[in-house]
Structure 1
Amino acid sequence: MSRNITRAVAALTATVIGLSPVLGGTAFAAEPHAPAPVLTRAGLDPALVAGRGARVDFAEQEAERALTDGTVLGPDRTAYTLPAEASGRQAVRLTPGQYVEFVLPSAANAITVRYSIPDAPSGGGLTAPLDVTVNSRDRSTMTLTSQYSWLYNQYPFSNDPNSGLLHPDWWITECSCVPAATTPAPVIGTPFRPNHFYDEQRLLLGRKYRAGDRIRLTVPAGSTAAWTVIDLLDSQLVAAPKVELAAANVLLFGADPTGRRDSADAIDRAIAFARRTGLKVYLPPGSYQVNRHILVDDVTIVGAGSWYTVVKGRQVDLATPAPDGSVHTGVGFYGKDASAGGSRNVHLADFAIEGDVRERVDTDQVNAIGGAMSDSTISGLYLHHTKVGLWFDGPMTNLRVTGNVITDQIADGLNFHTGVTGSVVSDNFVRNTGDDGLAMWSERVGNAGNTFDHNTVQSPVLANGIALYGGTDNTVSNNLIADPVREGSAIQVGSRFGAEPFTGQLRISDNTTVRSGTYELNWKIGLGALWFYALERDIAADTRVTGNAFLDNTYNAVMLVADWPVKDRYSITNLHFKDLRIDGTGTSVLSARAAGSATFENVDARNVGAVGVNNCGTFHFTPAGSEFALTDLGGNDGGGTTGAWLAPWELPNTITCDDRPPVVAPPAPSPW
């Protein structure tokens, strides 16, 4: 490796681990006694998000609030940095010999550690140990890896930190230039745009520990990793393995629970027997190697619990591309394709799927769950290291996706893609996706009558927490969305990606967002925690935004945009905002960069950093005012540095356009 490349990798490491003054960092000396545990949800006091998000059985503790002799990174929301991708925008960096110690808030026998370690200089990751000690006595070692993190370069990204531009003829997002058309061509250094730094790992502790017991994570001396960043620890009390006696046990059909032999054919045989006899298929505790899709239709498959039953496989290169364009296959449970009638009466529960996806290939079907499944349920799964946790291509109807944990995906957590109707996604926990956490994408065929309810989405590295692209009569309710990093918002309503129009009713109710409203690196403006984007059509469905809380917004709480080339063609209308609480905006409550209209009732705001309504309309600045009109239905209170957020002089369409207002960082959220 050349000295220049070595210096580049060293400079990258220094930047992302917080040695750069941009990231900050504070050293903490060890204390004789660990502090009392500080429980959080999405980095917040749980009281601030009561009733919102997934109802989970684990307790979250942020590393920066625990006892440590390491260095706290952040807070920082700047893309391509470790703090920005951390929960709560802070984490703790440890060097060999340093530790972070947590106090259990309740009985537990299992932990999940979210962490980052460096990439190998030539990409592809490395492994490093992390010692886990309970009460200074019981010790085990986790083997951390960066093989599933550290992506670089342009979309859809590369694993090679030393590669040149993936698409030299493309516009380079975030600098708006074409290298071949620029004299001289811009110098793109390597590594270029590192991201997706974090991974997580689970560990059964071997026994039950009590509230007040201390779990210390220590980087051992001589670790292969120059540094280890700990973001958080989740602790929980995992129940004993579930047993299904009256079932087709896969062991009886030749499955290998040690994972040494491939068990795909044995699972197929168990499924065939179960369908003939009306039994369930049971996956006892073990690790089952599966390196292809398992086709499921009219069958129930259950495990002993996601901590005990793991279906794990490697990504396999296909000799020739599949008809759908896939160049790889891998572990996954798939319904039949919709063109073949789809699958029905599929029920998957209580096991883990561990993939081996380390790169993003958009044509690949290397998702944990896929195909079409009507009248089906998916619950209690742990989905890890696949491309998308669950990707459904309809038409299909009446699917229930409940109580799953979906983490460390290369792309989306879940996507209803085309023609999914009458389905519910609830109580799912989604963290560290490489694209939208949860999405409804009505490409070619509309999604209708679906609900995303009581889900938690944390730290999507790219795009949105929850995204709606077209559709009819859909609902997003009672969700908790935190810490989107770039090119997205907590919730986006977008007419884009070839989506069918929004029609009927759209309900966005009783959600909480926090530390959202990112900086759009291409437009160089701040977005909103809730983002309406009219790119390919009008957005004109009856849209009711009710009962939501937008907390600690980096820029705006709500943004309405029609892209510049189409701003005189498409508008955003029929919007109704009611009973909202907005606590902290770096800039405005509402930023309107489109034609259209909206009503506001009982929208309370405080700690507003700039003018309450940044109303640019379509930037024609006509004597009649902005092309976006606001109607005050009463009860709109509060404001910030410039007075009432919705002042009489702003109505109905006063031009108050400040394209890039100064940002005033809001205080931490507090009880209303």
Structure 2
Amino acid sequence: MHASATRYVRLMPTTGAVVVLAAGMLTAVGPAAHAAPAAHAASGASLPFTSVEAESATTTGTRVGPDYTQGTLASEASGRQAVRLSAGQRVEFTVPRASNALNIASSVPDGQSGSLNVYVNGTRLARTLPVTSRYSYIDTGWIPGAKQHHFFDDARMLLGQDVQPGDKVAVEATGTQVTVDVADFEQVPAAAAQPAGSVSVVSKGADPGGTGDSTEAFRDAIAAAQGGTVWIPPGDYRLTSSLGGVQNVTLQGAGGWYSVLHTSRFIDQAGSSGNVRIKDFAVMGEVTERVDSSPDNFVNGALGPGSSVSGMWIQHMKVGMWLMGNNDHLVVENNRVLDTTADGINLNGTAKGVVVRDNFLRNQGDDSLAMWSLYSPDTDSSFENNTVSQPNLANGIAVYGGTDISVKNNLVSDTNALGSGIAISNQKFLDPFSPLAGTITVDGNTLVRTGAMNPNWNHPMGALRVDSYDSAINASVDITHTTISDSPYSAFEFVSGGGHGYPVKNVDVTGATVRNTGTVVVQAETQGAAAFSDVTATQSGAAGVYNCPYPADSGSFALTDGGGNSGWSSTWSDCSTWPQPGQGDPDPDPNRDLARGRPASATGSQDVYTPGKAVDGDANSYWESTNNAFPQSWTVDLGSSYAVRRLVLKLPPSSAWGARTQTVSVLGSVDGSAYSTVVGARGYRFDPATGNTATVSLPGTTRLRHLRLTVSANTGWPAGQFGEVEAYLTP
């Protein structure tokens, strides 16, 4: 459990560090000099379902996001966007594949539960889909920089019929407000039959109706089936305590949609002789908080050598698998790990030859996949072809120490506060710790919207981070065939997160494609060196390189040009300031709201009605200035200079907001210092009968980055008020 892995306390560098460049740094070379990279395996797991984003579907609800601000609902959503439904509102999905099952990731307000009506091609199903906040809104005050998080949760149902590509499946809020993030469509096969010679837990007294306690029946079946198979028929089974002494046995169910165990601690054992096979059932926990001293895990400890876990559905645990002791040559594959309050899978030292592949992990409250070399090194182990989505308090994939580790062909998306998509780190947490050694292979990974603002640093973490937190990195770190897209901040970060300036050395980055970074391609913050070859970048938000080691006198970071690099030759020149993220294409779609999610400030605000409420994508929340103190100003930094042509000013659309006129002037600046008037003061009418919206036309002849609205009067309230300020390039 490593959210504390980001307990960085950093000071802003005050002086620039030396930028050491080899001759010809970051210049393009002809194709004859560098052949195209070899074809590579697709990133991510082979999944039995297809996901459809709610914001891409038809809806009568309200789209929220995109937003990268820690603690907001949209920032934890897949794609950083979702759809909010009030009672009677719906979102309708076009079915992407033949399916008979549906899983919905959604959020309801804290302390509430509700349900969704489900419609297939316009016909409402008799069953509803329950949704709840029971497993959400986690507080971890002992983790520096953490805010309340873990807003979304998964709920599933069998549709009772087959639907085909192109059919329509809709979900509708029945009473409680529901924010729908994503829908997974799946064709679930029929329940598997009992294997010959297996011992059924029902024959030992287990209750498939879920009323009785089936713990002793499972223990008796395991004892009776040594060397064979324990069969878990379709049903719901309640276990009230964990299982131990599990070895030399197969635990097999009829499939994760049919054989369901309800327990928050499934296997808890310090050791095993091994040869354990766990496959094809679901374990649903009841973990509603994160308590690190409690082993509320699907597997806690060791399964023993030569074991495997496959085809499992694991949900609502603290950790999916917290593996200690001898788990040599364990294979973990084709599992789903959802909605854990801490890690998804953590190889907690001593792992040798462990392979974790083709798994899907969503909504973890810490690292989704981690190796931590405590007590002895994880060795010759790998994370391969996994899909990780929405870890909300740490990294998608993290390697803390270890020898000869591989991270290959994974797809990671939408990391939130305190996390990178992939972190290769020497942060030890505890002793004895085994730092990175041998060769660390990071190959063929795809990172989408990864990296996040670190509130402890007060500056961002890159999509892929190499971190000499507690000691120098002396291993060879080979980063090859990487695709990084839409990072809200930087692509590659090299840092000594503990603030000691330990070097990051022996890093080779080859064959990377970087698209649309919010700030820079390379964020170097410690001494050391890295070589770059065939790294191409497009649409970087601020510059190509930020090279400012901390502490400032700790030494320089050398970027060596191996040839074939293009699109990131510029260097951020001022080490006293951090680049501001564009969080998108610096030459955006003209229909995009340039102000949404951007940093906002004001001359004053009232109570919780802070400046950021006017750019959060939700007109129901609003900024209100200090009362009875006209004039008051509200300012937003758009991240880059634009020829803005139109502003849309909104107040909450509720009829409770009576009509009013606000007198507003518009000022602009390219540097945040000198402002000039763009549109003089005039009255703008806001009327709930017409949506409480006013439009301001700008001449568009002047480019501006900082947009300031000054309110000098309001006929409806003695303060300036904006529910949303939207800025567009189109008139």
So what's the TM-score if we normalise by structure 1?
Answer: 0.78
- Equivalent residues of 2:540, 2:586 under 8 A apart: no
Matched, 1:575 2:507: yes
Aligned with 2:119 (options 116, 133, 143): 133
CA distance in 2, matches of 1:194, 1:364: 20
Equivalent AA in structure 1 for residue 533 of structure 2: E
CA distance in 2, matches of 1:88, 1:571: 35
Change (3 A) 1:198 1:50: farther
Q: What's the offset of the Cα at 1:245?
A: 3.8
Q: Does 1:344 align with 2:344?
A: no
AA at the equivalent of 1:136: G
CA contact under 8 A between 2:511 and 2:534: conserved in structure 1? yes
Report the Cα distance in structure 2 between the residues aligned to 1:615 and 1:668, rounded to whole angstroms: 21
Letter paired with 1:547: H
Tell me how far apart the structure 1 counterparts of residues 586 and 253 of structure 2 sit (CA, whole Å). 42
Q: 1:238 aligns with which of 176, 180, 188?
A: 188
132 and 445 in structure 1: CA distance in 2 versus 1, 3 angstrom threshold: same
Pairs within 5 Å for 1:212-361: 212-220=166-174, 223=175, 225=176, 227-246=177-196, 247-275=198-226, 278-295=227-244, 296-313=246-263, 330-334=264-268, 336-338=269-271, 342-361=272-291
Give SS of 1:265's match.
helix
Q: Percent identity?
A: 39
Spell out the pairing of 1:414-493 with structure 2 (5 A cutoff). Answer: 414-493=345-424
CA drift of 1:629 comes to 1.0
Indicate the residue corresponding to 1:519 in structure 2: 453
- Report deviation, 1:473: 0.1
Give the structure 1 partner of residue 135 of structure 2: 148
Using the alignment, how far apart are the partners of 1:103 and 1:616 within structure 2? 48
Q: For 1:472-521, what per-residue CA distance to the aligned partner results, in whole angstroms no more than 9, with x for missing partners?
A: 00000000000111011001111112331111000000000011121111
Asked if 1:596 corresponds to 2:528, the answer is yes
Structure with the larger RCO, 1 or 2 (CA within 8 Å, 6+ apart): 2
Q: What does the per-residue CA deviation read over 1:191-229, in whole Å, with 9 as the maximum and x for residues that have no partner?
A: xx4321110111011121222221110112xx2x2x110
Amino acid at match of 2:566: D
**How many Å apart are 1:621 and its aligned residue?**
6.1
Q: Is the aligned partner of 1:629 residue 2:558?
A: yes
Secondary structure in structure 1 of the residue aligned to 2:79: helix
Q: 2-side partners of 1:51 and 1:564: how far apart? A: 35
State the 1:152 CA deviation: 3.0
Q: 1:664 aligns with which of 536, 560, 582?
A: 582
Change (3 A) 1:153 1:465: closer
Q: Please state whether the residue corresponding to 1:272 is helix, strand or coil.
A: helix
Residue 45 of structure 2: aligned partner: 54
Tell me the CA shift for residue 230 of structure 1.
0.3
Q: Deviations over 1:618-655 (max 9, x none)?
A: 34369xxx61111111111123xxxx35xxxx7xxx97
Secondary structure in structure 1 of the residue aligned to 2:217: helix
Conserved 8 A contact 1:395-1:418: no
Deviation at 1:250, TM superposition (A): 1.1
Shift of 1:153: 5.6
SS state of the match for residue 260, structure 1?
strand
- Paired with 2:68 and 2:178, the residues of 1 have a C-alpha distance of 20
Q: How far apart are residue 146 of structure 1 and its match?
A: 0.8
Structure 1 segments of 4+ aligned residues over 4 angstroms from their partners: none
CA shift digits 1:431-457 (9 cap, x unpaired): 000000000000121101001000011
Match of 1:64 among 46, 52, 55: 55
Tell me, yes or no, if the aligned pair for 1:489 and 1:531 is still in contact at 8 Å: yes
Work out the CA distance in 2 between the residues paired with 1:664 and 1:71.
24
Q: Does 1:560 align with 2:489?
A: no
Q: Distance in 2 between matches of 1:396 and 1:105?
A: 39
Cα displacement (A) at 1:377? 0.7
Shift of 1:617: 2.3
Match for 2:292: what amino acid?
Answer: D
1:612 corresponds to: 544
Q: Deviations over 1:566-598 (max 9, x none)?
A: 12xx21100001011111111111111111111
Q: How many residues matched?
A: 542
Give 1:96 shift.
0.5
Q: Distance in 2 between matches of 1:669 and 1:106?
A: 35
CA distance in 1 between partners of 2:99 and 2:218 (Å): 33
Question: Contact 1:613–1:656 (CA<8 Å) still a contact in 2?
Answer: no
Query: Could you tell me which of 386, 391, 405 is aligned with 2:336?
Result: 405
Check conservation: 1:616, 1:655, Cα contact below 8 A. Answer: no
Q: Deviations over 1:315-348 (max 9, x none)?
A: xxxxxxxxxxxxxxx43124x414xxx3400000
- Partner of 2:154, secondary structure, is strand
For the Cα contact (< 8 Å) 2:138–2:290, is it kept in 1? no
Residue of structure 1 equivalent to 2:610? none
1:33 counterpart residue number:
none
Q: Which moved more, 1:253-262 or 1:129-138?
A: 129-138
Counterpart CA distance in 2 for 1:562 and 1:611 is 22
SS of structure 2 residue aligned to 1:270: helix
- 1:504 match: 438
Q: What SS is found at the alignment partner of 1:229? A: strand
Residue identity in the other structure for 1:636: N
* Contact 2:106–2:178 (Cα < 8 Å) also in 1: yes
Change in Cα spacing, 1:379 to 1:564, as seen in structure 2 (3 Å) is: closer
Deviation of 1:663 (Å): 2.1
Q: Separation in 1 of the partners of 2:183 and 2:343?
A: 23
Contact 1:550 1:557 in 2 (8 A): yes
Q: How do 1:542-561 and structure 2 match up within 5 A?
A: 542-561=476-495
1:163 corresponds to: none
2:312 pairs with 1:381 = yes
Q: d(CA) in 2 for partners of 1:353 and 1:107?
A: 26
Larger radius of gyration: 2
Q: How much has 1:155 moved relative to structure 2?
A: 3.1
Q: Distance in 1 between matches of 2:586 and 2:208?
A: 48
C-alpha distance after superposition, 1:277-328 (max 9, x if no partner): x431110100010121122111001000000000103xxxxxxxxxxxxxxx
Hey, what's the Cα distance between the residues in 2 that align with 1:50 and 1:68?
Answer: 36
Q: Which of 364-373 and 661-670 deviates more?
A: 661-670
Deviation at 1:62, TM superposition (A): 0.4
RMSD of the alignment, in Å?
1.9
CA distance in 1, matches of 2:395, 2:156: 26
Q: Write the distance in 2 (CA, Å) between the matches of 1:507 and 1:669.
A: 35
What does residue 674 of structure 2 align with?
none
Once the two structures are TM-superposed, the CA of residue 261 in structure 1 deviates from its matched residue by: 0.2
CA distance in 1, matches of 2:334, 2:47: 8
Deviation, structure 1 residue 56? 0.2
Amino acid at match of 1:290: L
Q: TM-score w.r.t. structure 2 length?
A: 0.72
Instruction: Tell me the amino acid that sits aligned with residue 212 of structure 1.
Output: G
**Gapped regions of structure 2 (runs ≥ 5):** 1-39, 589-731
